[in-house]
Amino acid sequence: MQPDEGSLRLDATHRAVVLLLIVVPTVLLVLGIYHGVLQALYRAGLIQSSTFLGIEYYQGLTLHGVINALVYTTFFEVAFGYVVVAYYLRCTFDARVTWLAFGLMSGGTLMAAWAMLGGSASVLYTFYPPLRANPLFYVGAALLVVGSWIPFFQWIPAYLRWRRAHPGQKTPIGVVGMLSTFTVWLIATLPLAYEVIVMLIPWSLGWTATVDVVLARTLFWFFGHPLVYFWLLPAYVMFYVMLPELAGGKLYSDDAGRLVFMLFIVLSAPVGLHHQFADPGISSGYKWLHGALTFLVALPSFITAFTLAASLEYAARAHGGSGLFAWWRRLPYWDADRYLFAYFFTGLVLFVFGGITGIINASTVMNNVVHNTAWIPGHFHTTIGGPVFLAFLGMSLFLVAQLTGRRVRYPRLNLWVPYLWTAGVAVFSVGLSVAGLLGEPRRTNLGPTYANPNSPLYHAGWRLWSDLGAIGGIVMGVAMLLFFVVFFGTLLGRRQQEPALALPTAEAYHDGPGRFVLNFRPWVVAAIVLLAIAYVPPIYEVVTGPTQGAPAYEPSSPVVAP
């Protein structure tokens, strides 16, 4: 079979790189998911030791967080960025530069994986000092980040060329979304680069004896919150560009989508202190400012909720839907040919709860109740584990099928994946959220202690909720098993047509002139100004404050004076 008219054949380099950027982290994901399921089992006391099959609890938790949240996402987003920019702008990129980016990203990942698997980097995905990792972990993380910057600097000239060649035309919204994603990423990773290169690498090499823990945490969260929107925005690209078309309708408002991406550029970063409400060394006024800005960064997601609901309603009514609510029945939930709809829709349903719990976290008062409890993983499995992960899984499969010219294997089984995953996350998150409200801590191996009836520390009140967490975790594991069968079955199947890309692309119902959202410049300037207001004073306070440098944590720490 020949590809459709309008479809795009990527050149050999970019086809190979995009496939590698998807397949390599999906293979690693097998390990990441396995350690996720184990976490739920430890929490419910079904594993009562500190190691399982040779991997220690915190080593496994580090592998789970780093592979799933940092490696899988970054690789996928670079792949998706190449696809979206090449497809909508019909441009090509320099193959040598692309291979360089891929080489740095994979080399860095291998270094970090070596350190984690060897047990010398059990510092979790936030690598807070004074936990200290093998230098290879930090160098690997730095290379992964630098490698992921390079494609952005290939896309910017392509975008500028397109604008010059198409004066007066709106840039395709998918490209706007991916450029916004990587603008957020660049802003986020600059403080991270400082933390890793200037503070952590010299410290881990023994060149400096101590590290400023408060500064490191502040720089980490300067990166860490925009990081969550770096994860979310490619999913929003899929929701705005593809979901309405998959539903059989139109995007309700094109300008709303563009405004959302621009708002994220401005508001993603100046909110990081909401992760540090409980930290000493930072005045409460700055924390309050970041808390207030956090409520503002929920605004683009509220706009998205209304725009997408309106787009879905338009599609359903166009296909005979009626009534105040009955039109929901007319959407293609079980159409195996439009499986992406199921992956996207289920993610959105989970995100309703991710959004509500996020807004609870953002309140300084409520945060005191939930901070560092099991509630927090309850929250982030309905955000990164909801709309983000499901959209990335569905799109990985879609791209692999198109770029290899294969048909998706086991299409009915594939349709079950998002529903089963969503059911699993729902049960898991309810379990962890309630347990968190009852005081159950996060990042703690409960197996030998709080979840063990033979331990004096046993906490019977958490039992039911941790058991629910384990049931949800197992269901999520089964969903992923099905996904791997479909994904690798497709990859290893027979080629049925020439490889070519054809992305579902919705027309807009309201397509305004978008005057204020055509250019990135004013939004980037606003982002820099707001960042200066929100971060210069607290960082000055941290740097000039009375905090003393801390030596690395050792198993014998803290040393109790005789």
Question: What gap in Å lies between CA 344 and CA 499, rounded to an integer?
Answer: 24
Report the residue number whose CB is nearest to ligand HAS: 355
The reply to whether 229 belongs to the active site is: yes
> From the candidates 132, 275, 379, 406, which is the catalytic residue?
379
**140 forms part of the interface with ligand HAS (CB under 6 A):** no
Question: What gap in Å lies between CA 26 and CA 6, rounded to an integer?
Answer: 29
**371 forms part of the interface with ligand HAS (CB under 6 A):** yes
The reply to whether 225 belongs to the active site is: yes
**274 forms part of the interface with ligand HAS (CB under 6 A):** yes
**126 forms part of the interface with ligand HAS (CB under 6 A):** yes
User: In terms of Cα–Cα distance, which of 154, 148, 61, 29 is closest to 487?
Assistant: 29
Of 86 and 316, nearer to ligand HAS (C-beta) is: 316
| Shortest spacing between CB 220 and ligand HAS, in angstroms | 10
Q: Select from 51-59, 343-351, 433-441, 469-477 the region that touches ligand HAS (CB under 6 A).
A: 343-351
**Residue 364 φ/ψ, nearest 5 degrees:** -60, -35
> From the candidates 225, 338, 406, 409, which is the catalytic residue?
225
| Shortest spacing between CB 3 and ligand HAS, in angstroms | 32
The residue within the footprint of ligand HAS, chosen from 297, 432, 486, 501 (CB under 6 A), is 297
**304 forms part of the interface with ligand HAS (CB under 6 A):** yes
Of 45 and 436, nearer to ligand HAS (C-beta) is: 436
The reply to whether 128 belongs to the active site is: no
The residue within the footprint of ligand HAS, chosen from 35, 132, 275, 287 (CB under 6 A), is 275
- Write the DSSP symbol of residue 561: P
**376 forms part of the interface with ligand HAS (CB under 6 A):** yes
Question: What gap in Å lies between CA 11 and CA 299, rounded to an integer?
Answer: 39
3-state secondary structure 273-288: HHHCCCCCCCCHHHHH
Residues forming a β-bridge with 357: none
The residue within the footprint of ligand HAS, chosen from 31, 308, 393, 434 (CB under 6 A), is 308
Question: What gap in Å lies between CA 43 and CA 53, rounded to an integer?
Answer: 17
**348 forms part of the interface with ligand HAS (CB under 6 A):** yes
Query: Phi/psi class of residue 320: alpha, beta or left (left: φ > 0; alpha: ψ in -120 to 50)?
Result: left
Site residues (CB under 6 A) for ligand HAS, limited to 182-241: 228, 231-232
Q: Which long-range contacts (CB under 8 A, 24 or more apart) does 462-467 make?
A: 462/435, 462/438, 463/45, 465/374, 465/430, 465/431, 465/432, 465/434, 465/435, 465/438, 465/440, 466/43, 466/44, 466/45, 466/431, 466/435, 466/440, 467/44, 467/431
Name residue, tokens 């795009």: 8
User: In terms of Cα–Cα distance, which of 102, 106, 99, 103 is closest to 71?
Assistant: 106
Residues labelled as active-site residues: 225, 229, 379-381, 442-443
Q: Which residues bind ligand HAS (CB under 6 A)?
A: 126, 228, 231-232, 274-275, 294, 297-298, 301-302, 304-305, 308-309, 348-349, 351-352, 355, 358-359, 361-362, 367, 371, 376, 379-380, 383-384, 388
